[in-house]
């Protein structure tokens, strides 16, 4: 483990926590389309997403949207407040689309081994 960590294969160790046990009952997937793809504006958005503890994963993607966010929230009111802070108050957000998970069938960050 020490060698894999030193080689950069292992970036960190974590405990898998049940979000519902901590009151995070909703998983929300949000697709965000930006108004302008200027690098400074994209970097500003990335910093905002990185700073938000409810954003569990953030992907800058190619396709119909620019970012995909996986978020854990306690309730819809919390998500509504986050939309105000992250999207409505950001002049570079053109539109966003919200998907609410009805069942988290598979989650995790496991990486397949070379034999998989």
- For the segment(s) 19-100, the CATH number from 2.60.120.10, 3.40.50.720, 3.30.70.920, 3.40.50.300 is 3.30.70.920
Q: Which helix (H) or strand (E) holds 82?
A: helix 76-83
Average pLDDT, integer, range 14-25: 90
Neighbour order of strands in the sheet with 93-100: 55-60, 67-73, 26-34, 93-100
Tell which phi-psi region holds residue 82, choosing left (phi > 0), alpha (psi between -120 and 50) or beta. Answer: alpha
Q: What is the pLDDT of residues 78-111, one digit of tens each?
A: 999 999 999 999 999 999 999 999 999 998 878 8
Q: What's the confidence (pLDDT) of residue 13?
A: 86
Question: Residue 16 pLDDT more than 90?
Answer: no
Grade residue 116 by pLDDT with cuts at 50, 70 and 90.
low
Q: Is residue 72 packed enough to be buried (19+ CB in 10 Å), middle (13-18) or exposed (0-12)?
A: buried
């Amino acid at each position: 483990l020490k060698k894999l960590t030193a080689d950069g294969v292992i970036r960190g160790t974590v405990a898998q926590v049940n979000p519902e046990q901590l009151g995070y009952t909703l998983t929300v997937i949000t697709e965000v389309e930006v108004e302008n793809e200027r690098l400074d504006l994209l970097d500003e958005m990335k910093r905002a997403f990185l700073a938000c503890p409810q954003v569990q994963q953030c992907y800058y993607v190619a396709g119909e949207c620019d970012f995909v966010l996986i978020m854990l929230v306690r309730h819809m009111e919390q998500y509504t407040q986050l939309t105000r802070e992250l999207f409505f108050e950001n002049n570079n957000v053109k539109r966003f689309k919200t998907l609410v998970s009805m069942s988290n069938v598979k989650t995790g960050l496991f990486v397949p081994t070379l034999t998989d």
